[in-house]
Chains A and B, each alone.
Chain A
Amino acid sequence: MTPERYEKIGQLYHAALELAPADRAAFLAEACGDDELRRDVASLIASHEQADNFIEQPPDDVAAGWQAAAASPPGRSFAHYQMFSLLGRGGMGEVWLAEDTKLGRKVAVKLLAGDVTTDVACVRRFAQEARAASSLNHPNIITIYEIGEAVSENGGTHYIATEYVEGETLRQRIASAPHQQIRLAEALDVATQIAAALAAAHEAGIVHRDIKPENVMMRRDRIVKVLDFGLAKLTEPATPAVDTQLPTLTGTEPGMLMGTPRYMSPEQARGEKVDARTDIFSLGILLYEMVTGRAPFAGTTMSEAIAAILRDEPPPLAESLADAPPELERIISKALRKDRAARYQTTQDLLTDLKEFKQLIESGTRPVRPRRVMRKAPVIVAAAGLALAAIVGWFYLNRHPALTEKDTILLADFENKTGDEIFDGALKQALAIQLQSSPFLNLFPEPRVRQTMGLMGRAPNERVTAEIAGEICVRNNLKALIAGAIAPLGSHYVITLEAINGHSGESLGRQQVEAESREQVLRALSQAASQLREKLGESLSSIQRSNSPLYVEQATTSKLEAFKAWSLAVENSYSGRVIEAIPLYKRAIALDPEFAHAYSVLSTLYGNTGRPGLAAEYAEKGYKLRDRVSEYEKLRITNFYYAFATGELSNRIEVLKLLNTTYPRDGAGPADLALTYRQIGQFDQAVEEAHEAIRRNPNFAPSHRALVLALFHLNHFSEAKDTIALAVQQKINHTDFHYVLYQIAFIDGDLGAMQEQIDWLSGKPDEYVASDWQSGSAAFAGQWRKAQESASRAIDLAAHGDTKEIAARYATEQSMRGAIFGDYRRAKEDAAQGLKLARGRASLPRAALALALCGEAGQAKSLIDELVKLYPEDTVIHSIWAPAIRAAIELQRGNAAQAIELLQPASRYEAAAEFWPQYLRGVSYLKLKRGMEAAAEFQKILDNRGQAALSSLYPLANLGLARAWDLVGDASRSRKAQGDFFAAWKDADSDLPIMIEARREYEKR
């Protein structure tokens, strides 16, 4: 279009507008030369009629958004929060991404808008409820850290600091889905997690009141978080409304629609008092919207939407969802009953239905192809059989009260008629994994089987035939057993499963399937299990209750050889032979490069043996492949990802809590949780979880290791020893058991016992750790040369292949010792050596701290920068290492007060920090001549020896204590502490700078 033409159109347009609408068409037909011109003018007139309010009001809302954004330069701080960016804004106030400078963690801070918080009583009620919600501590509920009020000259602002959840809201998820429809399985997963959150809240008497897609966050790892419990109460009138006042629609600002009636329950819309059933209704709407892509109660205006909620039935699912399952329809319509008495009465009921349906969907997504009936299959079925269906159903129905040991089922060995030894053990293991991932099933543990065999006068390694299995059942009062057989059929295989009553020996049913090739065997096995269950006449609903992934190749691998290597690896690592297990897992991965779980398990083995770099690498790999695995493994893999790849320990704890509640019989979850608590210095909780882990599975080495370590850190030395003795009796052993025993012997001054532990390691693949212990104990006694010798040996032994990181750690550990002893030259050399060997979590923080203590601020700083850049979310680095290194830099610069300030974030986790924050703080207080405070810090070290029994800082804490008491003029205490130091260092190298200084002080006093 040209300007001339536009002007021409304008003239005609205005002329036409002056006419009565009825006359316009005739006018245009006459006045316009061509049809195109007439159309252009006509469409402009049409637009004019619709454009009514268009751009009549300035864009105030956008201006408000801009003002908020303009006001968010980094650096704005609020209470002890440093604001970074505005995350969202609405009628309730603003949400900012911030850092909690006290604790050094990211948080979301919600500032409540002034007009919301003017009603004092209302605020109090809200705070009460929010606090109650924060005490729920549920993995699907956002954690509230703090509720407070910041007072400024302009009055107070209420704020809530919560966990920062990175991800998208359910609203965004829906909006980005094709046709705004979320896949059924995912929608059910989300709904189930929301229901779990609500069930926990409702149990505690808390109603959310404002469940809507904006209040549901979805993290990358698919964990769902429900936000804003209790917040809706803020906008409610203090007394229950009896009129038609709409609770969440009050207190809006012009141009800002707060809340929406779309997710309200009918009782809410009527302004009646609400209860838990309101949340159920809202969740019903969410689920409906997720699967259909549309709102069940539509209306363009608020009053229409409300009318729809009160009056209309939602359109049938089938209108927008082809093949809508009737069960889904049933669940949704039961949640959406207008009369709350006809709705689900408890969220628990809804949750149960959702879970069951979800499992049905997950297991039933692949249609089971009917198998050929084999008339003359030369199959020999072990006399035992399988009644998965009945058993699983039985367990399910009886899970309240919780299952006891007697409800366990036994797996007999597979009868292998193929002559292919790969099937020995592998099929049983596959079936076991499938059954173990069911929350409600318990398998009779293998060691107990062997034990019973011993009682029966049989060799412990004898095959558990169906007959023997039957006897084991009777002896242990087991309800049922499952056995199977595999036999060749030409180039095919026939697999048979049978279930049998453990008491009567009566067959409960059997099933055969054929596998066309070796690679198809694992899949066929899964099908056999599910088909047998159908054949047994189990109703569909009881199959769905089993929660066991039916396709074992998803659970693990389709490669039999890989599976076999895996089985062997698991056996080794369960009994504590970690170093031996590593090559087996690697072999499993080589045989099946897509074996997600194997990567993740390798990451934990590396992580727990001092190789954080390799651990991160494998954790990433497993995480990338997590879409292929079962729900159980997905949680395990995610857990390892947070543990070793990102280091986000709070996320890890959440995942583990979810794992532990979803799979209440799995011991690995609590064991990992115990180790995580240990990492952040919460040893009491670590002990508790480790006990739980052992209760769930007594034959799992990591649980015993976690318990031993936590007890040791708590100074419970004899309990730790007893725990080790018990574990060893059960044929469980672990290098760390011997490390703990070595340290206890060292504390007791028992040289013989120390040597025993060193001898135990002799000839083992991880022999280098013995030299490391020796270098630690020599340094503890001030025998610096001896320490150097042992350390060099340890480094030489480890400095190759996949143990390089360990060598790097030893070298940098030495450099920290050199730095505190005053041997700066040596310290710098060791730091350089360590960084040359490997540059990562093992070496960077230690080298940085050593260099900081040597006064090399520039180098130390660039190393922390590197570290923080590599691991931006790592809890231990952010909360322990970085503060300690920065404090050390300032301390060396003479800024003791600032050093103390910088150590603040570390105080929360300092029990796990091997004395560094306490020591640095103690030295800083000495510099500031604050003797009492210095003494308190050094005393913390001396009182908690088990936290780091071989740390060189321990004897030096006595030296610091002597100086502290001297400062406050307490000569006798000072002398006592000095005496303790010289006793520990009686054989110390006399030319160590710190020793020379100590002696000079001694002579002065």
Chain B
Amino acid sequence: METSSESVSQLLQRWSDGDKGALDQLMPLVYGELRRMARRYMWQQPSGHMLQTTALIHEAYLRLVGQEEKRWESRAHFFGVAAQAMRHILVDYARARHAGKRGGDARVVSLEEAAIVSEERAAELVALDDALLELAGLSPRQSRVVELRYFGGLSVTETADVLKVSSDTVTRDWNQAKAWLHHELNCSLET
């Protein structure tokens, strides 16, 4: 993956230099890698072992950028892209799963409660995504903070690096966004 690791590093560099077009090229690369990994992992491992969200992104980073890349910044930027990709992937999946249930024609032979639980979870995640979109209209940065922290598993410092703001700001944003989202989701549950 020599060529792609080079280009991903370069794209990350260009993006952090302010080239918005670089993101459009990065996204499909990251997206595709996450998908490939999911497939590969599933069948190399004894069944039941899955990569967790953060581990998936970390793994994708190693594959696309490689360990040679030492610059912290570039890593943070990669995580920024990956968090967004992850959000799309998981929400799309959740939406499909939820829709399948709604449609009534999902052929489910569920022997486990977990299958059901994860359908409910799917609905929750879809609702969270909707609320995040709304939040982006009120505070784009808060919405980004949630995306990075929740879908990308980034720490406060990492999030601050990606967004080029102070850690305090991230903490405050996170704090308010969390309370607001929680309120939104519980209200929508009630109605």
Contact = CB atoms under 8 A, between A and B. Distances in A.
Interface of A: 1-3, 6-7, 10, 13-14, 17, 43-48, 50-51, 54-55, 58-71, 73, 76, 85, 87-95, 97, 108, 110-116, 154-155, 157, 164-166, 168-169, 171-172, 212, 214-215, 217, 227-228, 231, 253, 256-260
A156 to B, nearest CB: 9
Contacts of A231: 111
Contacts, number: 208
22 contacts: A1-B138, A44-B183, A46-B183, A50-B182, A55-B146, A58-B52, A58-B153, A59-B90, A65-B121, A66-B38, A67-B51, A88-B114, A89-B112, A92-B112, A95-B111, A95-B112, A112-B47, A116-B48, A155-B46, A212-B113, A214-B111, A217-B109
Nearest to A168: B108
A63 B50 contact: yes
B62 interface: no
A48 to B, nearest CB: 4
Contacts of B181: 51, 54-55
Interface residues of B, number: 59
Given A73-B39, A113-B46, A114-B47, A51 B178 contact: yes
Contacts of B139: 3, 6-7, 10
Contact of B38 (A61, A67, A253, A256): A67
Contacts of A13: 176, 179
B57 to A, nearest CB: 9
A12 to B, nearest CB: 11
Interface string B123-167: 001001000000001110000001001111100000000000000
Contacts of B186: 47, 50
B67 interface: no
Contacts of B97: 65, 69
A212 B113 CA distance: 9
Given A6-B139, A44-B176, A68-B42, A88 B115 contact: yes
Contact of B39 (A44, A64, A71, A108): A71
Contacts of B86: 63
Given A50-B182, A55-B181, A93-B47, A63 B116 contact: no
Contact of B118 (A6, A58, A65, A113): A65
B53 A59 contact: yes
A472 B86 CA distance: 83
Nearest to B182: A51
A51 B150 contact: no
Interface in B93-128: 93-94, 97, 107-118, 121-122, 125, 128
A112 B46 CA distance: 9
A60 B52 contact: yes
Contact of B89 (A46, A66, A73, A155): A66
A71 B117 contact: no
A113 B18 CA distance: 47
Contacts of B150: 55, 58-59
Contacts of B151: 58-59
B43 A47 contact: no
A620 B1 CA distance: 58
B113 A260 contact: yes
Contacts of A10: 139, 172, 176
Given A58-B151, A61-B118, A97-B109, A157 B46 contact: yes
A619 B150 CA distance: 55
A50 B183 CA distance: 9
A214 B46 CA distance: 24
A184 to B, nearest CB: 24
A90 B52 contact: no
B28 to A, nearest CB: 16
Given A91-B48, A214-B110, A256-B114, 9 more contacts: A43-B183, A58-B53, A63-B51, A64-B50, A67-B50, A88-B112, A113-B47, A169-B116, A227-B111
B109 A62 contact: no
- Residue among A214, A228, A253 with max Cβ neighbours from chain B (10 Å): A214
Given A6-B138, A43-B183, A67-B51, A62 B178 contact: no
A113 B46 CA distance: 7
Contacts of A89: 112, 114-115, 118
